[in-house]
Amino acid sequence: MLGVALVSLALGAAPPPRRFLHVDARERMVAITLIAGYDGTNNGFNFDGYARTLLLTVPRGWLVRVTCENRGPLRNSCAVVHGPDAFRPAFVGATTPDPTVGLGAGTSAHFAFRASRTGLYRFTSLVPGHEEARMYDVLEVTGGSKPRIEDLVPPGH
- Whether 76 maps to a domain, the answer reads yes
* Percentage, residues of the chain above pLDDT 70: 90
The CATH number covering residue 57 comes to 2.60.40.420
Whether the model clears a pTM of 0.85, i.e. scores above it, the answer is: yes
The conformational region for residue 9 under phi > 0 = left, psi -120 to 50 = alpha, else beta, is alpha
In a domain, 156, yes or no: no
Residue 47 falls inside a structural domain: yes
Q: How many domains does the chain have?
A: 1
List, for residues 131-141, the tens digit of each pLDDT value.
899 999 999 99
Taking the CA of residue 144 as centre, how many other CA atoms within 13 Å lie in the half-sphere pointing to its CB? Answer: 0
- Whether 25 maps to a domain, the answer reads yes
CA-CA-CA-CA torsion sign (48, 53, 57, 58) = positive
Can you spell out the DSSP letters for 91-156?
Answer: STT-B-SSTTT-BPTT-EEEEEEE--S-EEEEEE--STTTTTTT-EEEEEEESS---EEEESSPTT
What's residue 3's pLDDT?
31
Q: Could you read off the pLDDT of 88-121 as tens digits, one per residue?
A: 999 999 999 999 999 999 999 999 999 999 999 9
> Residue 32: which domain range?
2-151
Residue 157, domain member (yes or no): no
> What is the tens place of the pLDDT at every residue in 7-49?
333 345 788 999 999 999 999 999 999 999 999 999 999 999 9
Q: What is the reported pLDDT for 85?
A: 78
| Within a domain: 124 | yes
